[in-house]
Amino acid sequence: MNKFLTFVIVLISALAYGCSSSGSSKPLNVATGPVIASISPTSGGYGTMITINGSNFGVVQSTSLVSYAGVTVTPSSWSDTQIALVLPDNAPNNGNFVVVVGGVYSNSSVPFSLGGPVISYISPASGLPGSEVTISGQYFGTQNSGTYVTFNYTTATIKNWNNNSITCVVPEFANSQANSVSVVVWLDAYRYSNSYSFNITQPSISSVNPSTDNIGARITLTGQAFGQTQGTITVDGVTAQIISWSDNSVQFKIPKIYSGAGNKTIAMTIAGRQTNSSVNVAAPSVTNYAQATTPISNGNRITIYGDYFGAAGDIDSDRSVELRDEDNKLYSPAVTWSDTALYFDWPVSNDLFGTQTVYITITVGGLSYTFQVTAD
């Protein structure tokens, strides 16, 4: 055999033996892409903290990224074997996670099931339309143009919205006497929460104090569920002036009515809800009177005692005392008033030929009382 050919064969054999011999060389280290092994949890809603477990994610995130159903998600922490993130509000319904490292895509994770919002409780659990309530739960996301809350399918005004809490105003309802309504949180037309019951409180009056008084008198109603937003009160259908309003106490003035004295219906209306009671509207009445002389003469002081003349500040501009002598001449003296007594100086001219009968009419809010006095 040719010596050169023999040398070549021996050389090739030696190289082949050297390459196959253990310890004579190192195996090639081939780079491996990111691998997702598991995600935890596999279901939840917006704001859920999710952990992606796997390998070859890289020690730092750098330019690497995570996507969920094609939407890029910003992680809160990153290591070579674990990535933590919060599911954002713009995530689609259901999807898979993918990790991209250096342009190399991982396998897809198992599907993550995106659930709707969940209402845990509402505080307070009852109230009137117009009152503020807080809905607590999870997966509410953040407020946007597509999110809303309904009470029996009537949309509420939102005061504050975050992932676990929504503050809103209870809306008005077509059915003003509904006792219980259903509350639902909507993320859009297709994703919505469980239905949670909310009680609409019905107002009720427990006492009227005083139960009898004159027009213009201040009446206090006590009870429950009047609300913090002022409603309306009517007496015999006439709107009353409201002095003060709280959830369990309301004060108003008896308005001027035109159906005479007697028992009148009080109607309190709050946010479309009405409760009724009654008050006895009294005309002024006289029990007795005192005078400086008998019979009384011009310029003498006369004091008249009675009830329902009206306390100071009731209706000062709508009460009067009028005197009519035997010649039908009318007198309107300046009067000092209290609810149970009034006095004035006698304005009627003395009769030149003896005594005369003078008629005194006391009027409060259009209701009158007339009696007669013997005078000079």
pLDDT digits (tens, 9 = 90+) for 121-144: 999 999 888 889 999 999 998 898
Give, in degrees to the nearest 5, the angle at Cα 275 between 274 and 277: 145
Do 128 and 176 fall into the same domain?
Answer: yes
Among left, alpha and beta (phi > 0; psi -120 to 50; other), residue 15 is alpha
Residues 195 and 219 in one domain: no
Q: Where are the alpha helices (DSSP H) in 226-321?
A: none
Residue 302 lies in a domain: yes
Pick 21 or 96 by higher pLDDT. 96
> What's the domain count of the chain?
4
**CA-closest candidate to residue 85, choices 74, 70, 100:** 74
Q: What is the dihedral of CA 116, 121, 124, 129, to 10 degrees?
A: 30
Of the candidates 214, 247, 281, which is a domain's last residue? 281
pLDDT exceeds cutoff 50 at 118: yes
What pLDDT band is residue 201 in, cutting at 50, 70 and 90?
confident
Instruction: Determine, yes or no, domain membership for 10.
Output: no
CATH number at residue 69: 2.60.40.10
Is there a single domain that holds both residue 289 and residue 276?
no
Answer yes or no: is 276 within a domain. Answer: yes
In a domain, 223, yes or no: yes
Name which of 184, 200, 171 is nearest 135 in CA terms.
Answer: 184
| Any domain includes 12 | no
**Are residues 209 and 232 both part of a single domain?**
yes
The yes-or-no verdict on residue 22 having pLDDT over 80 is no
195/212 same-domain check: no
**Do 208 and 188 fall within a single domain?**
no
- Percent of the residues in the chain that have a pLDDT greater than 90, as a whole number: 70
Q: Are residues 208 and 196 in the same domain?
A: no
- Per cent of the chain over pLDDT 70 is 90
| Statement: residue 11 has pLDDT above 90 | no
| Helix, coil or strand: residue 13 | helix
Q: Are 121 and 78 in contact (CB under 8 A)?
A: no
Kindly state whether residue 15 falls inside one of the protein's structural domains: no
Alpha helices in the chain (DSSP H): 3-20
Neighbours of 147 (CB within 10 A): 19
* Residue 360 falls inside a structural domain: yes
What is the 8-class DSSP label of residue 27? P
The DSSP string of 101-166 is ETTEE-PPPSPBEE---EEEEEESSEE-TT-EEEEEEE------TT-EEEETTEEPEEEEE-SSEE
Q: Are residues 229 and 188 in the same domain?
A: no
pLDDT, mean of residues 270-278? 89
Residue 320 lies in a domain: yes
Domain final residue, candidates 281, 310, 339:
281
Residue 317 in tokens: 């501009």
Closest CA to 54 of 95, 91, 107, 102: 107
pLDDT score of 26: 37
pLDDT at 14: 38
Per-residue pLDDT tens over the stretch 209-264: 999 999 999 999 999 888 878 999 999 999 999 999 998 999 999 999 988 999 99
Same domain, 159 and 216: no
Query: Do 182 and 254 fall within a single domain?
Result: no
From 135, 168, 200, the end of a domain falls on 200
- The reply to whether 224 and 296 lie within a common domain is no
3-state secondary structure of 318: helix
Structural domain including 267 reads: 204-281
Say if residue 371 is in the same domain as residue 289. yes
User: In angstroms, how far apart are the furthest CA atoms of the chain?
Assistant: 182
For residue 12, is pLDDT > 80?
A: no
